[in-house]
Amino acid sequence: MEMPPPNAAILAQKAELLRQLGRVLPADAIISDLAETRAYECDALTAYRCPPMLAVLPRTTQEVSAVLRICHAMGVPVVPRGAGTSLAGGALPTADCVILGVARMNEVLDTDYDNRVIRVQTGRTNLSVSGAVEEDGFFYAPDPSSQLACAIAGNIAMNSGGAHCLKYGVTTNNLLGVTMVMMDGSVIEIGGAHLDAAGLDLLGVICGSEGQLGVVTEATLRILHKPEGARPVMIAFDSNEVAGACVSDIIKAGVLPVAIEFMDRPCIEACEAFAKAGYPMCEALLIVEVEGSEAEIAHQLHLIAEIARRHDPVELREAADAEEAARIWLGRKSAFGAMGQINDYMCLDGTIPVTELPLVLRRIGEMSEAFGLKVANVFHAGDGNMHPLILFDANKPGDLERCEAFGAEILKLCVEVGGCLTGEHGVGIEKRDLMLHQYGAADIEAQLRVKDVFDPTWLLNPAKVFPLSTTESRRTAGIAAA
């Protein structure tokens, strides 16, 4: 993945930049020596690394504003960072950038149960938002698997999803307002505890803009009362086709589970070897979770079992108690860890229309043979969001490149069948160069024009999301103007 070469003129200003930042930030909020900036050299897409020129860790919106004003005046690119768990390289630095990390901004500012909202600083981790309201029976619904580590800042920037988004939606459906600092240092407020914006839906376009439109420092989020209970059922099939048809029938029947997770044979085998969850050896495994009172759960599980039986499952296992429920989830939740044990892996994130599932899985299998790389599939089947995990060996020359080429072919296939390149991880640098497979040049240009409005000098996270060739003139003009 190519990144623009560092700008020597910017690097030459490092001392001056440090002097100016020193006037607006406490000393412990500025990180400038190489040994320490290395901590920010990558996110969870670890194949790409580059220490930034500097990193800053402000504690308030005012400090963020002061930092951006300085960087804007000096023409220094800024890469916002939450917890650095992006799988797309969204938080990858360039050598001439300032990393602006919001991790120290992690306060809960207001909790309001009557209106079912919480206001937080965006450096707060996803899980600790739920943690703040849990004792009172509430939770924040979007639950990325990385929720222990990832920050609301990154969730908003990537419009992150989670296992339960089939019922509760993704970040954008649960975000009511933000405080955002523009690249020139001005602070804007959008939305709040009321629903739906006046005027254009700016919040809608900010969510998912991958840190390119502004730095989000505070957010108002919707919270919900926890359901009375939840329970999964595990259903095993001897073909992907049949499992796919079963998913479709469950949805059509009007049962709306909170989650439908799908694992294929390579994934089941790896998870079983790693976590010993007691999964049957089969071609496809579904985990379907429903919520409600005891009776409601029983009723929905009964309906699901009825539908599943029509598809002649190899096995159907209902969780009788919490322990069994945990065991059913255990394998799925350790999928990434299990893969990590076997090998280095790359996690893809394309979405397909659910009806194309059997075709796509078959084609991925064929490609796996052609590329000589193993792949395991685990994904959110209810909404077609796939997570093929391609296994490779980072120490073997050429393997990473082969893996990336394979990944690109899978993503192109997702687009070909009517889906998209990324369902929840974002484009970052990883899928940047594939954007023209999904969108025409004019469709990309329309998106660039939105950035022109929010960040006319193109200093915020500039080398991401769009193919470099489509943004080059804007990036160079921006730096020249500053």
Contact residues for ligand FAD, defined by CB under 6 A = 43-44, 79-87, 90-91, 102, 122, 144-146, 150-151, 153-155, 157-158, 160-162, 210-211, 215-216, 336, 424-426, 461
Q: Which of 2, 36, 110, 228 binds other proteins (CB under 8 A)?
A: 228
Q: How many binding residues for other proteins (CB under 8 A)?
A: 93
104 is a contact residue toward other proteins (CB under 8 A): no
Question: Toward ligand FAD, which CB reaches closer, 102 or 267?
Answer: 102
295 is a contact residue toward other proteins (CB under 8 A): yes
Do 90 and 464 meet the contact criterion of CB atoms below 8 Å apart? yes
Paired with 235 in beta bridges are 286, 316
Question: Toward other proteins, which CB reaches closer, 268 or 427?
Answer: 427
Task: Please name which of 73, 98, 101, 97 lies closest in space to residue 184, comparing C-alpha atoms.
Answer: 73
Task: Please name which of 225, 51, 220, 27 lies closest in space to residue 119, comparing C-alpha atoms.
Answer: 220
Question: Toward other proteins, which CB reaches closer, 264 or 424?
Answer: 424
Collect all residues with Cβ–Cβ distance below 8 Å to 421 and sequence separation of at least 6: 349, 350, 411, 414, 415, 427, 431, 434, 435, 437, 438
242 is a contact residue toward other proteins (CB under 8 A): no
188 binds, among other proteins, ligand FAD, none (CB under 5 to 8 A by kind): other proteins
Collect all residues with Cβ–Cβ distance below 8 Å to 226 and sequence separation of at least 6: 134, 137, 138, 139
How many Å apart are CA 339 and CA 144, to the nearest integer? 18
Q: Which of 38, 49, 116, 363 binds other proteins (CB under 8 A)?
A: 116
Instruction: Count CB-CB contacts under 10 A for residue 227.
Output: 15
Question: Toward other proteins, which CB reaches closer, 38 or 167?
Answer: 167
Paired with 216 in beta bridges are 180
215 binds, among ligand FAD, other proteins, none (CB under 5 to 8 A by kind): ligand FAD
Q: Which of 124, 317, 425, 474 binds other proteins (CB under 8 A)?
A: 425
Residue labelled with tokens 């500097």:
54
Binders of other proteins among residues 132 to 161 (CB under 8 A) are 137-138, 158-159, 161
Question: Toward other proteins, which CB reaches closer, 90 or 93?
Answer: 90
Which residue number places its CB atom closest to ligand FAD?
154
228 binds, among other proteins, ligand FAD, none (CB under 5 to 8 A by kind): other proteins
287 binds, among other proteins, ligand FAD, none (CB under 5 to 8 A by kind): none
Question: Toward ligand FAD, which CB reaches closer, 298 or 330?
Answer: 330
Task: Please name which of 433, 465, 438 lies closest in space to residue 450, comparing C-alpha atoms.
Answer: 465
Residue type, position 449, single letter:
R
202 binds, among ligand FAD, other proteins, none (CB under 5 to 8 A by kind): other proteins
Binders of other proteins among residues 429 to 448 (CB under 8 A) are 431, 435, 438-440, 442-444, 446-447
Q: Which of 11, 18, 39, 253 binds other proteins (CB under 8 A)?
A: 253
426 is a contact residue toward other proteins (CB under 8 A): yes
87 binds, among ligand FAD, other proteins, none (CB under 5 to 8 A by kind): ligand FAD
3-state secondary structure of 334: coil
How many Å apart are CA 362 and CA 364, to the nearest integer? 5
How many Å apart are CA 145 and CA 154, to the nearest integer? 13
Task: Please name which of 59, 40, 62, 36 lies closest in space to residue 49, comparing C-alpha atoms.
Answer: 40
Do 17 and 54 meet the contact criterion of CB atoms below 8 Å apart? yes
Taking residues 352 to 371 in sequence order and writing x for each that binds other proteins by CB under 8 A, - otherwise, the string is xxxx----------------
Question: Toward ligand FAD, which CB reaches closer, 215 or 255?
Answer: 215
293 is a contact residue toward other proteins (CB under 8 A): yes
3-state secondary structure of 186: coil
Residue 210 Cβ vs ligand FAD, minimum distance, rounded to whole Å: 4
Question: Toward other proteins, which CB reaches closer, 50 or 205?
Answer: 205
Supply the DSSP symbol for 376. Answer: E
Binders of other proteins among residues 43 to 102 (CB under 8 A) are none
Binding part of the chain for other proteins, among 12-20, 31-39, 111-119, 141-149 by CB under 8 A, reads 111-119
Binders of other proteins among residues 384 to 413 (CB under 8 A) are 384-385
Q: Which of 105, 190, 410, 479 binds other proteins (CB under 8 A)?
A: 190
Do 470 and 447 meet the contact criterion of CB atoms below 8 Å apart? no
Q: How far, CA to CA in Å, does 339 sit from each of 122, 389, 403? A: 31, 8, 15
How many Å apart are CA 301 and CA 297, to the nearest integer? 6
Q: Encode 28-52 in three state secondary structure.
A: HHEECCHHHHHHHCCCCCCCCCCCC
196 is a contact residue toward other proteins (CB under 8 A): yes
Q: Sign (positive/negative) of CA torsion 295, 298, 303, 304?
A: positive
